[in-house]
Structure 1
Amino acid sequence: MRSTIIPAVTVAICSPAIAAAQAPDARLKAIYDAEWAFRAREFAEIADAAPGEPSADDHLPSVTPAAWHRRLATWRDMLARVDAIPVASLGDEDRMNHAVFRTYLWEQVNNIEWRTYEAPFNSDSFFWAGLSPRRGYARAIDYRRYLGRMRDVPRYFDEQIANMGSGLKRGYSVPAPSLVGRDRTIEPFAAPGTANPFYAAFAAMPATIPAAEQAALRAEAERVIAGQVAPAYARLLSFMRTEYLPKTRRTIDAASLPDGRRFYQDRIREHTTLDLTPDQIHEIGLREVARIDADMQATMKETGFKGTFPAFLTFLRTDPRFYAKTPKELLSLSAYVVKKMDGKLKDNFGLLPRYRFTILPVPDEIAPIYTSGRGGLDSCLMNTYDLAQRPLYNIPALTLHECSPGHSFQAAVALEAPARPRFRQETYFSGYGEGWGLYTEYLGKELGIYEGPYEEFGRQTFEMWRAARLVVDTGIHAKGWSRQQAIDYFAAHTALAPLDIANEVDRYISWPGQALAYKLGELTIRRMRAKAERELGPRFDIRRFHDAVLGMGSVPLSTFEDEMNRFIAREKAAPAG
């Protein structure tokens, strides 16, 4: 499944003779500075945009095979240069820079070698979604850049379609069982007029943009939507329905792909940043499922329920008391949990970021097949589609994970961390990031966020969900499990709603290895916390521990363990008090 790539011209960093004369930290900086500028050019971003400001340029990136081969040659060259730097001679910060940057380069090289760009989406993340912003812009120049990207949609889609066709020819595609109904997410974008999601950013423009300029921008947006955007989406929709979906593979496991077992092992390494085998991960999952199952049984008894565990799950899935009647009710509970956590932050974190996020519903066009929630720097999304499938007892744990002190809080801390190379602020490793998100759900229990046994059961069922992923993901991709077998496993062990279970299983089918990051990352963080508490005793300070975890930014889990061991050593050596 790997391709033979002809090297292209690489980015010039410095000659070998000059590089050899530089100090190791200077050599490293020269490489990652050059890569950041290269990345900005390749992916159509404004390289000098200030953190938090719109950075996309007035066009979309090229995704042709030639463009990917050019990137591959550059990243291979950089990886070789980075590997030639003696890590032992670097200081603490540059040692982390080296680990983060090298892992990033390996991921880029590995994905292009496997030609994963020939399947450029999965069951809930699409290249055709996210091109229109969730909110408008503050400046006219950013609207003009946005209009430029809108005009570029036809070219961008044509390149993606060509790549997908190449993938089909060699048997590499998103599995068909995970794509049922996903074509409908394209439909809203294929309509001209102001109802098209691309127009939403123009509906409420800031007063700082003169009225006449606003009117001109809106008129131009309607023309571009009608002339370029909607026709491009219509062609994509036709391709999906007449070509891609009928021909995409019917198998669901990574192992059935050419050289699939090695492909899956690389996906495990990418998403977890650990060198564990599928069998090892499967066994970890089985142990965790058994442990959490005992906790859930105990919590069920606390509620006073007298029936069996399956009957309790049926009760939770069907009793109206556990479900919101309106989207606002669900969003309000999420906002309440955030404010309740706000009152706990100062006692558990030394660094409190200034950057603020908002809570928004998942956009209508993707909500039916989207996950329950997803958090980021600017906003935390909560899915309000089909409220009968969104139990309120899950919302506290979901909010802690996605919003605060989970992903939105985590992203703000990374943004405001001590001065670091830009790539450190914007690199994300799932093992670290998702591990932190799941850890914050556990932290909520310690801090009294969960009210009553039902919300605690919601936390436990979310933890079970992540533990079951270890079993299900490896079951599907390495042990021959069917889609229904995976669904049945989740239904037997968690209180997740049927729609959530189906969507999640489809996500694991189409995104091998990603689901493994959460539990393996959380286990690593909790193991290092237990070690710090044990070795520091009364000198252990939860605020300093959390600041150390978040302060390093997103790093590979092996680097995380090394840095936390150094944190423990520094705390031991520090004067008492």
Structure 2
Amino acid sequence: MRGFLSILIACTLLAGCGDGERAAPAAGETAAPAPAATAAALAAELAQLYEQHFEESLELNPMRSTFLGERRYNDRFENMLSPEHRARQQASAQRWLERVQAIDPSSLEGQDRLSYDMFVRDRQRELEGFRFPGHLQPVNQFYNITSMFATLGSGMNAQPFRNVEDYDNWLKRAGHFPELVDQAIANMREGMASGIVQPRVLMEKALPQITAHVVDNVEDSIFWKPVQAMPDDIQGADRERLQAQYRALVSDTLVPGYRKLAQFIETEYMPATRETVGMAALPNGRDWYAYQVRSITTTDLTPEQIHQIGQDEVKRILAQMDAVRERVGFQGSREEFFKFTGSDPQFFFATERELLDGYEAMRGTIGPTLDRLFETKPKAPFEIRAVEAFRAASASAASYQRPSDDGSRPGVFFVNTAHLEARPKWAMTALYLHEAEPGHHYQLATQQELAELPRFRRFGGYTAYTEGWGLYAESLGEELGAYEDPYQYYGRLAAELWRAIRLVSDTGLHALGWTREQTLAFMRANSPEPEERMVAEAERFMAIPGQALAYKIGELKIRELRTRAEKALGERFDVRAFHTQVLEDGALPLDVLEAKIDRWIASQQS
């Protein structure tokens, strides 16, 4: 059989063996259909190709491998900003696209055809992205390669620090940090020369994140935390050696690297930053943003269409919030209600511990209700942790990190405990549902546990699907009884409103020429969020254009598909089965998800 597969794939890859070269059947004969064995052989060969590609991608991106729980490359460093690395990535994407497209997929069915189409789509999208010079803007306040490095080296994230080998692995990897700094500076200088620079306001927020690692005392560094938490079973000569080497690493390599980058940004880059804030102001910026929109939403919607969807959704949700205001008997205007919910002491915790405990309590009340809506749950557990202090000032209210594949690290629901005056109690239920269960933890951990799928699907994703599911999960609180408190339901509407505002603001900034102040004015007029949150969000849109569109576009599609199924199936509609259909294939482009659900509806009607 192995020899047959080799001959088959060789024939498939050679032009002379293509369908156009086959002899026509003799007169009176009928061409025989492709045997099932051929389809199975093709699927098996493709599975091997997908696995080979994934292995290559792990070697090309060893730090991503660490986040996935792959231990083999924990000591490796890849200068992801270098032109050599970009060239290798581009060549890899082109080579694997050609190898897979050389195989005729017409005989593939089910998951095999889905995997083929998604792999081809992903590589094409990846190759299109090389047209745009994102590598010339390697630092902003939201996604920052040096902050990621600090997160890894903190001992509180994906990089393991359990034994001597782990500690030595980080020493090897972190020793390359100066290369990363030098490449970031080189890229930013190239960007300065070509007019591709960050808005000044973003760099003003990023600079303190970098200078936070320029410490006088090694033991004040976040990179010293693994030494403080060194396991007791590392003793004697190993312990003394590691302590000395980590002290030297921080003082002689890491702190000087952060200092060099900070000095460059402050003295050279900052004067060259721009006052404009949208992508349209960059060379080829409109096409770049359009690509971002297509890639992130997995739709053909234009920025202008999305802008109007957002405007319509804002009006609808505000009307629902007015109904809540009337329900609680508040005597005052919408603006006064916003001010009341954003400032009254009853809506805020006094300490960070109380905020974290509040989320832990939700685990106990929401978790047991989920069987009402779901047939299966992920096996991996999740923890609730505070966002690291060094990035809390500009981090979002919460985030989720998927568990490691080997089970050594649980999923993590990160809660931003900084600025408690910006963390209202009424926002907590929706946030928990979105980030933890049944939101990102359910979706991402379940996807990762789909062992029958190729790894590029288990560990890949589409932001519109992933974030759309998270926002859809917030709405499920009504069916779970989690919004009996009208203020928690108000929090759900406030969260949904914010995602609608994102559609308007993101497209306004990058496609319609809005300024930062125009964007903030729209937010102030339509949102109960505190000023600090609005500023952070507006600047997030500037830093990662298009990403904010994913939530509402994805949620609207999932909700549309559920409504379609409910109407078509009537009493036969089973919400638990519907959720299985949405989750059982992992993340999908929205058009692929729609076609799949339509097929499921048809199968239920027969």
1:69 aligned partner: 87
1:33 aligned partner: 51
Once the two structures are overlaid, the 10-residue window that deviates more, 114-123 or 420-429, is: 114-123
Among 185, 189, 198, the residue aligned to 2:209: 185
**Quick check: 1:57 aligned with 2:74?**
yes
**Quick check: 1:545 aligned with 2:590?**
no
Once the two structures are overlaid, the 10-residue window that deviates more, 461-470 or 94-103, is: 94-103
Distance 1:364 1:292, change over 3 A: same
Once the two structures are overlaid, the 10-residue window that deviates more, 442-451 or 26-35, is: 26-35
Trace 1:118-197 onto structure 2 (pairs within 5 A). Answer: 118-131=136-149, 132-133=151-152, 134-135=156-157, 137-191=161-215, 192-197=217-222
Trace 1:307-322 onto structure 2 (pairs within 5 A). Answer: 307-322=332-347
**Quick check: 1:297 aligned with 2:322?**
yes
1:326 aligned partner: 351
Distance 1:94 1:139, change over 3 A: farther
The alignment covers a number of residue pairs equal to 559
**Quick check: 1:462 aligned with 2:495?**
yes
Q: Post-superposition shift, 1:425?
A: 1.5
Q: Post-superposition shift, 1:210?
A: 4.8
Once the two structures are overlaid, the 10-residue window that deviates more, 225-234 or 123-132, is: 123-132
Contact 1:128–1:186, Cα closer than 8 Å, also in 2? yes
Distance 1:202 1:109, change over 3 A: farther
Trace 1:551-566 onto structure 2 (pairs within 5 A). Answer: 551-566=584-599
Trace 1:59-458 onto structure 2 (pairs within 5 A). Answer: 59-62=76-79, 63-131=81-149, 132-133=151-152, 134-135=156-157, 137-191=161-215, 192-207=217-232, 209-210=234-235, 213-377=238-402, 378-458=411-491
Secondary structure of 1:360's counterpart equals strand
Q: TM-score, normalised by structure 2?
A: 0.87
Distance 1:197 1:538, change over 3 A: same
Distance 1:141 1:371, change over 3 A: same
Secondary structure of 2:148's counterpart equals coil
- Structure with larger Rg: 2
Once the two structures are overlaid, the 10-residue window that deviates more, 226-235 or 30-39, is: 30-39
Distance 1:52 1:331, change over 3 A: same
CA distance in 2, matches of 1:348, 1:208: 46
Contact 2:9–2:45, Cα closer than 8 Å, also in 1? no
Describe the superposition over 1:390-434 as per-residue Cα deviations: whole angstroms up to 9, x where unpaired: 111111111111111111232211121242211112112110000
1:42 aligned partner: 60
CA RMSD, Structure 1 to Structure 2 (Å): 2.2
1:508 aligned partner: 541
Q: Post-superposition shift, 1:260?
A: 1.8
Distance 1:566 1:216, change over 3 A: farther
CA distance in 2, matches of 1:144, 1:410: 34
Contact 1:96–1:555, Cα closer than 8 Å, also in 2? no
CA distance in 2, matches of 1:305, 1:231: 56
Describe the superposition over 1:41-66 as per-residue Cα deviations: whole angstroms up to 9, x where unpaired: 2112697x896454643132122112
Contact 1:299–1:453, Cα closer than 8 Å, also in 2? yes
Q: Post-superposition shift, 1:96?
A: 2.2
CA distance in 2, matches of 1:337, 1:524: 28
Distance 1:345 1:54, change over 3 A: farther
Contact 1:157–1:236, Cα closer than 8 Å, also in 2? yes
Q: Post-superposition shift, 1:70?
A: 2.4
AA partner of residue 355 (structure 1)? A
Q: Post-superposition shift, 1:36?
A: 1.2
Q: TM-score, normalised by structure 1?
A: 0.92
AA partner of residue 269 (structure 1)? R
AA partner of residue 314 (structure 1)? K
Describe the superposition over 1:478-509 as per-residue Cα deviations: whole angstroms up to 9, x where unpaired: 11111111112112212111111100000101
Q: Post-superposition shift, 1:142?
A: 2.3
AA partner of residue 549 (structure 1)? V
Secondary structure of 2:413's counterpart equals strand
AA partner of residue 188 (structure 1)? A
Contact 1:51–1:415, Cα closer than 8 Å, also in 2? no
CA distance in 1, matches of 2:474, 2:236: 46
Contact 1:467–1:519, Cα closer than 8 Å, also in 2? yes
CA distance in 1, matches of 2:240, 2:412: 28
Contact 2:12–2:103, Cα closer than 8 Å, also in 1? no
Secondary structure of 1:375's counterpart equals strand
Describe the superposition over 1:118-154 as per-residue Cα deviations: whole angstroms up to 9, x where unpaired: 1124331211112233245334322221221111111
Once the two structures are overlaid, the 10-residue window that deviates more, 432-441 or 76-85, is: 76-85
CA distance in 2, matches of 1:299, 1:201: 48
CA distance in 1, matches of 2:295, 2:252: 40
Distance 1:413 1:207, change over 3 A: farther
AA partner of residue 282 (structure 2)? L
CA distance in 2, matches of 1:34, 1:125: 29
CA distance in 1, matches of 2:282, 2:585: 37
Distance 1:357 1:66, change over 3 A: same
Contact 1:103–1:556, Cα closer than 8 Å, also in 2? no
CA distance in 2, matches of 1:15, 1:65: 33
Q: Percent identity?
A: 34
Distance 1:278 1:204, change over 3 A: same
2:515 aligned partner: 482
Distance 1:154 1:558, change over 3 A: same
AA partner of residue 374 (structure 1)? S
CA distance in 1, matches of 2:482, 2:557: 23
CA distance in 1, matches of 2:416, 2:489: 21
Gaps of 5+ in 1: 1-13
Contact 2:467–2:554, Cα closer than 8 Å, also in 1? yes
Distance 1:570 1:138, change over 3 A: farther
Secondary structure of 1:369's counterpart equals coil
Distance 1:118 1:18, change over 3 A: same
Contact 1:362–1:383, Cα closer than 8 Å, also in 2? yes
Once the two structures are overlaid, the 10-residue window that deviates more, 66-75 or 286-295, is: 66-75
Secondary structure of 1:130's counterpart equals helix
Q: Post-superposition shift, 1:572?
A: 3.6
AA partner of residue 517 (structure 2)? Q
Among 561, 569, 573, the residue aligned to 1:536: 569
Contact 1:268–1:513, Cα closer than 8 Å, also in 2? yes
CA distance in 2, matches of 1:93, 1:57: 32
Q: Post-superposition shift, 1:555?
A: 1.6
Describe the superposition over 1:305-346 as per-residue Cα deviations: whole angstroms up to 9, x where unpaired: 111111111111221111110001111112222222211122
Distance 1:228 1:500, change over 3 A: same
Contact 2:218–2:247, Cα closer than 8 Å, also in 1? yes
Secondary structure of 1:350's counterpart equals coil
AA partner of residue 289 (structure 2)? Y
Secondary structure of 1:190's counterpart equals coil
CA distance in 1, matches of 2:494, 2:272: 37
